Chain A
Amino acid sequence: MRVTDGESAAVSYRVVVKGRLSEHVAAAFEGVECEPGAGESVLTGALDQAGLHGLLERLRDLGVQLVSVNPIDCGRAPE
């Protein structure tokens, strides 16, 4: 923790994972929307760097396979 608030702003990310994430698992990720698909599921949410890494780590720990991670351009340049 630094005394002054870090400049890591929240960016919207789109994380694609393999398989269908059940509602049980999806509910575990706060602040993140989950669209279960047929072969893949899409998670979207506004996250700062720490939040993004936390999400990826939890996905890893649950044995969920990552397909891609991309920032979503909403008119603001991603970090």
Chain B
Amino acid sequence: MVAQNIFFGILAAIVAISALRMVTTRNIVHAALYLVAVLAGLGALYVLLTAEFVATTQVLVYIGAVMVLFLFGIMLTKAPLGNVMEMTGRQWPLAAVVAALLGGVTIYSLVDRFGSERLNTDGPIYRTADVSDEVFSTYIVPFEAVSVLLLAALIGAIVLARKD
């Protein structure tokens, strides 16, 4: 448990600080790189939670594919790379209220219910094969429905990218 505690502390700090920096940094490429740090930290946390499939897909899909998409997006739009002050004062009060309310309610209810629940250390370890069984039995409908979603996204991407 000691190793679990230490690693959780380190990773959680990396994730939380990177997330904060991502939102506050003015340089868009830095924001993308901070997002990589968040995603990598989360991948490691999934390993701590014995979710090997999720950890692998996190690295492959998020860091591998989604982040590359973001960097391409930054390149293609010729986004200004220097310091750009683009935070508006108009939304600050609203954002503060939303953050306080949302954070307060969710964190209170989560700590209230799971704050003292110890991690499940003696249960079975679920492997990727178990996830695949679940995908093709209980979650077969979402698996099929995802094909509709991907078809729509595919056509959409072609439509948006083809012209101008």
The finding on whether chains A and B are genuine partners in a shared complex, rather than unrelated, reads no
